[in-house]
Amino acid sequence: MKEYDEKHIKNIALIGAPKSGKTTLAETMLYEAGLINRRGKVEEHTTVSDYHEIEHEREGSVYATALHTEWRNYKINIIDTPGYDDFIGEIVSSLKIADTSVMLINAQNGVEVGTDIIWNYVEDFKKPLIFAINQLDHVNADFNSSYMSLASQFGSGVIRMQYPLNQGEGFNKIIDLLKMKMYVFGPEGGKPEKLPIPKEEEERANELHNELVEKAAENDDTLMELYFDKGTLDENEMREGLKKGMLSHEVFPVFCLSGLNDMGSGRLMGFIDNVAPSPVDLWPEKDVNGDEVKCDPKGPEVLFIFKTIFEQNLGKLSFFKVMSGEVKQGDILVNHQTGDSEHLNQLFIMDGKKRTPVEKLSAGDIGATLKLKSADTNHTLHLKNIDIEIDPIHYPDSRIRTAIIALTKSDDEKLGEALKKIQAEDPTVEIDYSKELRQLIISCQGALQLNLVKWSLENVHGLKVEYVKPRIPYRETIRKNAETTYRHKKQSGGSGQFGEVSMKIEPWYEGMPDPQGLSIRGRELIDLDWGGKLEYINCVVGGAIDTRFLPAILKGVVEKLEQGPLTGSYVRDVRVIVFDGKMHPVDSNEISFKLAGLNAFKENFLNASPQLMEPINELEVIVPEDYMGDVMTDLQSRRSIIMGIDSKGKYQVIKSKTPLAELDKYSTTLRSITHGRATFNTKFSEYAIVPGDIMDQLIKEYREEEAV
């Protein structure tokens, strides 16, 4: 394979909403460059990308797939990404290592919810972006509407490089506004015939060409002066201006495509070669300290692992970008995160599942290696004598959760190991055994991702599993004061157990006054791990309880706080005052006072107007206006409080506060009622009082469960 320096490598991510044609375009780009002899089809399961079994079942991308092509002395590394935001982790990791993103727009739909979501991440990285309006051969294609939706949503930086002359059925002509030529494609697409622009289109083409010239000139003072002097710019000057505008994230060129019929893909690839920046053109990568890591093949050897997969019969496959230096087969590097030495026995260029061995890769290039000892996604590998950690990929918080169980008890340990591998492949899958809920909880981006996890467990790891409804982390507290004396007494021959505790409990709040009529001998204010406070006050006088037993009483109280009297949930925001008690000279011991403290607290709690509290989440739903009514109705059925409604382009943003208990399976419901055209984000907001009827039902269910 030909070797390319850092100036002749272009790293692009193909991004866009579902069904915008990313995988088909990737296949066409490989075909155009002569790297494959026949273009595969998604529906026939023959594409280089989308090679996993689950992708064949779904007929759509689930994983980000690394490919490469070579076009006119440039190497273009391509990352073909999924469209659904359930798989946003795959998209974010691709944006991290890409130098330019190509966002495909379905010419039938224009800007979609998926487009918007992905744009937000592109904005975070501030890297160059090209729009490609695809599927212009579709009967319902509408280039102008799609372009206007882009301009409306993303601003004046969106600029036409081309427009179609005959979109829809029979589409085969594109007016190119940079070269001022008409491209006419044959029935099989491929290389077009370049013809003069028809006379009837000259006026429009000249007007749009001038807009493009002005946009190119805006980004450089020298070009602006040239423009004022000459009244125009030549093609090379325009390229220079467009490149600077793309680098400053102020120019977003728009191209025309039919990826399926191979029309416009060669022109797009040429623009990527000539204008899109190489890794060395971008601002240097940053390490965690904010220091620059320059893309220099003569610099220190630094690799960043952006993706990990486990292949049957191969083991762990690690994908990396060379951030600095030149990596060679056989190199030994240090894993910054673990300190382990990693031996790079093999280096590959990946094209889907095809591995092409290479001897070395230079700064800016993308490759893969097998069976690293401890390296995972987000790890940095470097030479032994340097200390660099690349700023990691920052993944979004999860949006939905469920509990999971192995149907065969003996598979519990295997389930844990399998989930660790799945999490290593996709860090947006969060795995946590909740001591509070006594459940293994999986948190994900959406129902599709949960389905993928289950599919992988069953089909790859051979485990039968079931998702069950996750318990809700309720909190218990009190609304008034209560006081009691509890005596623990047990005699069974020999020494017995005796402890008597007089205790008062109160609702705790910040700045509350000291208890009246009692002498405070000691106090602790404890920050509870699950939120809220416990204040423990010793008001015992006259030695009624020896001070050595007071920690045991507190231990009993804390034990009951961890499994509250109402529903077994954590208790928070309580003041406990121990003011009297009795001891026995022989039978009193720590266990006696622990049990006395626990039961005194329990009795008091049930007499102190106990209250159940539930977690409330901030929920933001982005939905087309046509589905507003259905979404609002569903939210109201979930006890949501609507906090406001904003507009975002042609979408409405509904903001609400919704109980976590009502968000079970919300991802599936929202996808169903909006036909997949809405999305949502959610995060914890606060705890709020559970309505009385629901609290009574929850207490009843808990007592029935405990009685079994």
Instruction: Give CA torsion, residues 249, 253, 259, 261, to 10 deg.
Output: -170
CATH number at residue 617: 3.30.70.240
In the predicted model, what is the mean pLDDT of the chain?
A: 94
Q: Do 509 and 559 reside in the same domain of the chain?
A: yes
Helix (DSSP H) and strand (DSSP E) numbers for the chain: 16, 38
Nearest Cα to 576, choosing from 487, 498, 689, 477? 477
SS3 of residue 702 by DSSP: helix
Q: Do 27 and 149 reside in the same domain of the chain?
A: yes
Overall domain count for the chain: 5
Q: Do 40 and 163 reside in the same domain of the chain?
A: yes
Per residue, the 3-state secondary structure of 88-120, as one string, reads: HHHHHHHHHHCCEEEEEEECCCCCCHHHHHHHH
Q: Do 483 and 560 reside in the same domain of the chain?
A: yes
Q: Do 499 and 464 reside in the same domain of the chain?
A: no
The Cα–Cα gap between 697 and 699 comes to 5
Q: Do 585 and 629 reside in the same domain of the chain?
A: no
How far the first Cα of the chain sits from its last, in Å, is: 68
Structure-block tokens of residue 140:
């319902």
**Is 219 a domain residue?**
no
Write down which residue in 440, 468, 496 finishes a domain. Answer: 468
Q: Do 20 and 97 reside in the same domain of the chain?
A: yes
The amino acid that residue 488 corresponds to is H
The Cα–Cα gap between 451 and 460 comes to 13
Contact between residue 611 and residue 529 where contact means Cβ atoms under 8 Å apart? no
The amino acid that residue 163 corresponds to is Y
SS3 of residue 240 by DSSP: helix
Give, in order, the Cα–Cα distances in Å from 62 to each of 52, 57, 145, 154.
Answer: 9, 11, 29, 27
Q: Which secondary-structure segment (H or E) carries 668?
A: helix 666-673
**Is 208 a domain residue?**
no
> Residue 505 has what pLDDT?
97
Contact between residue 302 and residue 330 where contact means Cβ atoms under 8 Å apart? no
The Cα–Cα gap between 235 and 207 comes to 16
Instruction: Give CA torsion, residues 367, 370, 374, 377, to 10 deg.
Output: 40
The Cα–Cα gap between 227 and 205 comes to 19
CATH number at residue 554: 3.30.230.10
Nearest Cα to 130, choosing from 90, 78, 68? 78
The Cα–Cα gap between 153 and 167 comes to 23
Instruction: Give CA torsion, residues 351, 352, 353, 358, to 10 deg.
Output: 20
The Cα–Cα gap between 685 and 38 comes to 53
CB count within 10 Å of CB 417 equals 10
**Is 378 a domain residue?**
yes
**Dihedral of CA 198/203/208/213: which sign?**
positive
Dump pLDDT digits (tens) for 592-619.
999 999 999 999 999 999 999 999 999 9
Strands 100-106, 129-134: pairing is parallel
Dump pLDDT digits (tens) for 120-179.
889 889 999 999 999 999 999 999 999 999 999 899 999 999 999 999 999 999 999 999
**Is 705 a domain residue?**
no
Reported for 675-680, long-range contacts at CB under 8 A and 24+ positions apart, including other chains, are 676/18, 677/112, 677/113, 677/623, 677/624, 677/627, 678/113, 678/621, 678/622, 678/623, 678/624, 678/627, 678/631, 679/85, 679/113, 679/114, 679/117, 679/621, 679/622, 680/399, 680/619, 680/620, 680/621, 680/622
Write down which residue in 333, 349, 382 finishes a domain. Answer: 382
Q: Do 564 and 495 reside in the same domain of the chain?
A: yes
The Cα–Cα gap between 557 and 573 comes to 13
Strands 430-434, 439-444: pairing is antiparallel
Residue ranges of the chain with pLDDT lower than 70? 1, 493-494, 708
Phi, psi of 127 (to 5 degrees): -100, 160
> Residue 114 has what pLDDT?
78
Strands 570-571, 326-328: pairing is unpaired
The Cα–Cα gap between 441 and 684 comes to 16
The Cα–Cα gap between 8 and 102 comes to 18
**Is 392 a domain residue?**
no
> Residue 609 has what pLDDT?
96
Q: Do 260 and 325 reside in the same domain of the chain?
A: no
Helical pair 265-274 and 22-32, crossing angle rounded to 10 deg: 80
**Is 674 a domain residue?**
yes
Q: Do 604 and 619 reside in the same domain of the chain?
A: no
Residue tagged 């391509």 (tokens): 78
Dump pLDDT digits (tens) for 683-707.
999 999 999 999 999 999 999 888 8
Structure-block tokens of residue 27:
């296949």
Write down which residue in 350, 382, 414 finishes a domain. Answer: 382
**Is 202 a domain residue?**
no
Instruction: Give CA torsion, residues 269, 270, 275, 280, to 10 deg.
Output: 70
304: containing domain: 295-382
Contact between residue 552 and residue 597 where contact means Cβ atoms under 8 Å apart? yes
Q: Do 23 and 41 reside in the same domain of the chain?
A: yes
Give, in order, the Cα–Cα distances in Å from 139 to each of 142, 152, 418.
Answer: 9, 24, 46
The amino acid that residue 177 corresponds to is L
> Residue 1 has what pLDDT?
63
Contact between residue 593 and residue 545 where contact means Cβ atoms under 8 Å apart? yes
CB count within 10 Å of CB 441 equals 18
**Dihedral of CA 580/582/585/588: which sign?**
negative
**Is 287 a domain residue?**
no
Structure-block tokens of residue 166:
């005959």
CATH number at residue 444: 3.30.70.870
Q: Do 463 and 496 reside in the same domain of the chain?
A: no
Structure-block tokens of residue 513:
């006054």
Q: List CB contacts of 523: < 8 A, sequence separation 6 or more.
A: 535, 536, 537, 538
Give, in order, the Cα–Cα distances in Å from 19 to each of 47, 103, 115, 134, 701.
Answer: 15, 12, 11, 10, 45
Longest Cα–Cα distance in the chain: 112
